[in-house]
A and B are shown apart, each in its own frame.
Chain A
Amino acid sequence: MANKILMPKLSPTMEEGQISSWVKEEGDAIEANETIAEVDTDKATMEMTSLEAGTLLKILVPAGENAKLGQTIGIIGEEGEDFADLLKEVENEGSSNGASAEPKEEAKEETQEVKSEESKPAETPKLITEEQKPKTEAQSTNGRLLVSPIAARMATENGLDLRSIEGSGPNGRIIKRDIEKALESGQTQADPATVSAPTFDAAAEIQGASAFREENTSPMRRTIAQRLGESIGPIPTFYLTVEIEMDETLKLRKQINKSIAPDKISVNDIIVKVAAMALTKHQFVNASYQDDKIRFYEDADIGVAVAIDEGLITPIVRGANKKGFQQISSEVKELAEKARNKKLQPEEYQGATFSISNLGMMGIKEFTAIINPPEAAILAVGTATPTPVVRDGEITTRSIMHVTMSCDHRVVDGATGARFLQTFKQMLENPVMMLM
């Protein structure tokens, strides 16, 4: 008799789990206690074992999607068994939960081949959904991508995502000429600057947080991540320091404050805004390394480090790239106040895409900050000090501010980070650049 496979509780605090991968496929025989799927919980990736022996008849929650504790994620039974009734029951379960059970018509005539039309699980709408797979995805045998050895090698060397390439060989095998074609058409992931207007289809887990899209981590990125990680720790960090002349920004701030008096904004508010704007231009910095995926955020949700009595918390200015100085300023004030009073809600301090720590007001000239995972970088901002500089052969003074960015090398490379800082610096040194 067919039975439901339910999402088990795999960690003490788990409320939902994401199917990281299905170890078994529809039609596979399963023994009791055999691993059938890997599930990402809030704590770790856990192996999920089957409680009974049988055949995996149906996968209801595909890899990459989440399921609540106790939600039906699949159906197990005897080979060839009719499980239409059970499927209907599971669907009703979904709709009675008030979730968006999508209209389905395929339940009956469905066969195992209809994988691409997989029924969506009944689930709350705020799930992370897998990035839309390209329609042209190579056909595969048992879900395996067919690639000739030389094509695989060339793709690795060029950082190409094989899943985005259409195979022209037998059974959709990706062959050398497909890679050459892809390379000709400039379909590489090497330079983020060449990626044009990406779409962000995934809704965030945390309300109000930035939408994002995910791309499969390229083999090259994975190798960089793995090797640097072995060398330096779980997050291979490196640091980039830049000197910024703040005179123009300070002038700008004075003008703004004059016109909005008695309201006023801080230098840090400007830095938050400028960083957010620079982030939208440098997607690898506004990203997160997630092992087999790199998550790129649409908006810059800036965590601003606030010192409180018992430590430190980073409330978040959501979508700072879209907000004005004044709005950022008032939000930061409000959040800092809440932080000090321990009134911050989780969504107000969880899920930033980038962080800024400013110790300038405490006279710190230069320092490094520690990345707040899973963010890719954090900016450590020092104080702006009048410093003698040589300009046009004359010694004069400028307000120099040192900024050091800590970068997660798994996703940000030296040049990537440097380009971001260039943009950041240009905007602060010449605020007109913010309009560009």
Chain B
Amino acid sequence: MAELTIRDALNEALREEILRDEDVFIMGEEVAEYDGAYKVTRGLWKEFGDKRVVDTPITELGFAAVGVGAAMAGLRPVIEFMTFNFSILAADQIINHAAKMLYMSGGDFKVPIVFRGPNGSAYQVSSQHSQALEAFYANFPGLKVVMPSTAADAKGLLKSSIRDNNPVIFMEQERMYGLKGEVPEDEDFTIPLGIADIKREGIDCTIVARSMTVPLAYQAAEQVQKEFDVSCEVIDPRTIKPLDIDTIVESVKKTNRLVIAEESHSFASVGAEISHQVMEHAFDYLDAPIKRISTAEAPMPYAKNLEELALPDVPKIVEGVKEVCYL
């Protein structure tokens, strides 16, 4: 095991997959000579050259389309969006082309492509650059959506995403690039898509969190354990779509209570979907209405204090746990 930051774990995954499969290449703004806006592709251009690591102009729709075409022609592109906020410009290529090509071509064209980049808030980048778009993409059949929260998950899931024959939306988090964690050194280490991970076991309350809210949920769980002797189970679905609802339902059947912590807005969010599925499969096991902790229903403020107020944090998750546990 090596201790790596999420940034370096992603870098390793990309490097290993480029070495492993000659069809894999990376394309995006500043990914080559500048080593990536967030240094995820550091050293790759130097090592592999222009053919495998391709800088693009600021043309999201254009390079996403080139990626979709390359994938249809048999390559395995990894398209980096500097942030997923800019993927909105490429949404037509992602949603109308990548997601639907296999279906509309009657199975003739696979699109083995990964769209990756940071999703959600960063540090005071304001309304247009702080959006969590997972629910948006997860809504469309044909797209897989992956959101790692640890270095090991980032590496194992990115490798699986690159090897997957379908378009995968791979969402990182800018605030988490520097988070360190143990990562297996095996070059063939992968984590299958669609399997949730129980980050902390507990018996009184389940917290489902993803991406940035996973470490927050973990801290909240430690806090309520200490203060109220309430034992929380923290589940990270890791893959939003396909969603491993079984693991969540099993946990809720045990704990009877569920808090969902997410960075997106609450309306029609992934948390809303999980909440519905839990109601559907574990209605008779619930002891309290499911509680969601989401980002405030407002464009993200620029002001630091307001940004903090808008985002989910440990105290909010603790409050949520107390509420469903009737404390």
| B-binding residues in A (CB < 8 A) | 148-153, 168-170, 175-177
CA distance in complex: A239, B80 (Å): 78
The residue on B at minimum CB distance from A170 is B326
* Residues B283 and A149 in contact, CB atoms below 8 Å apart: yes
Interface size on B, residues (CB 8 A): 8
CA distance in complex: A164, B285 (Å): 21
Chain B 179-195 against A: per-residue CB contact (8 Å), 1 yes, 0 no? 00000000000000000
Q: Tell me the minimal C-beta distance from B206 to chain A in angstroms.
A: 13
- B269 interface residue per 8 A CB criterion: no
The residue on B at minimum CB distance from A147 is B287
CA distance in complex: A148, B279 (Å): 12
Partner of A169 from the list B256, B284, B285, B326 (CB cut-off 8 Å) is B326
Partner of B286 from the list A149, A168, A170 (CB cut-off 8 Å) is A149
* Residues A177 and B326 in contact, CB atoms below 8 Å apart: yes
Q: Tell me the minimal C-beta distance from A139 to chain B in angstroms.
A: 15
Interface residues of B in 266-315 (CB under 8 A from A): 283-288
Which residues of chain A come closer than 8 Å to B287, judged between CB atoms?
148-151, 175-176
Q: Tell me the minimal C-beta distance from B25 to chain A in angstroms.
A: 52
CA distance in complex: A153, B256 (Å): 12
Given A148-B256, A149-B284, A152-B284, 8 new contacts (CB under 8 A): A149-B286, A149-B287, A150-B286, A150-B287, A153-B285, A169-B326, A170-B326, A175-B288
Which residues of chain A come closer than 8 Å to B326, judged between CB atoms?
168-170, 175, 177
CA distance in complex: A177, B284 (Å): 15
CA distance in complex: A99, B285 (Å): 50
Q: 20 A-B Cβ contacts within 8 A?
A: A148-B256, A149-B284, A149-B285, A149-B286, A149-B287, A150-B256, A150-B284, A150-B285, A150-B287, A151-B287, A153-B284, A153-B285, A168-B326, A169-B326, A170-B326, A175-B287, A175-B326, A176-B256, A176-B287, A177-B326
CA distance in complex: A153, B283 (Å): 10
Which residues of chain A come closer than 8 Å to B256, judged between CB atoms?
148, 150, 176
Which residues of chain A come closer than 8 Å to B288, judged between CB atoms?
148, 169, 175
CA distance in complex: A152, B287 (Å): 9
CA distance in complex: A175, B256 (Å): 10
Q: Tell me the minimal C-beta distance from B204 to chain A in angstroms.
A: 10
CA distance in complex: A149, B288 (Å): 8
Q: Tell me the minimal C-beta distance from A315 to chain B in angstroms.
A: 51
Interface residues of B in 107-151 (CB under 8 A from A): none
Which residues of chain B come closer than 8 Å to A168, judged between CB atoms?
326
The residue on A at minimum CB distance from B323 is A170
The residue on B at minimum CB distance from A156 is B284
CA distance in complex: A169, B287 (Å): 10
Which residues of chain B come closer than 8 Å to A148, judged between CB atoms?
256, 286-288
CA distance in complex: A424, B103 (Å): 77
Which residues of chain A come closer than 8 Å to B285, judged between CB atoms?
149-150, 153
CA distance in complex: A152, B286 (Å): 10
Q: Tell me the minimal C-beta distance from B102 to chain A in angstroms.
A: 40
Q: Tell me the minimal C-beta distance from A402 to chain B in angstroms.
A: 47
Q: Tell me the minimal C-beta distance from A413 to chain B in angstroms.
A: 26
Interface centre among B256, B284, B287 (most CB of A within 10 A): B287
Chain B 31-58 against A: per-residue CB contact (8 Å), 1 yes, 0 no? 0000000000000000000000000000
Q: Tell me the minimal C-beta distance from B72 to chain A in angstroms.
A: 48
The residue on B at minimum CB distance from A175 is B287
The residue on B at minimum CB distance from A148 is B287
Which residues of chain B come closer than 8 Å to A177, judged between CB atoms?
326
Q: Tell me the minimal C-beta distance from A148 to chain B in angstroms.
A: 4
Q: Tell me the minimal C-beta distance from B230 to chain A in angstroms.
A: 12
CA distance in complex: A118, B289 (Å): 33
Q: Tell me the minimal C-beta distance from A172 to chain B in angstroms.
A: 12
Which residues of chain A come closer than 8 Å to B284, judged between CB atoms?
149-150, 152-153
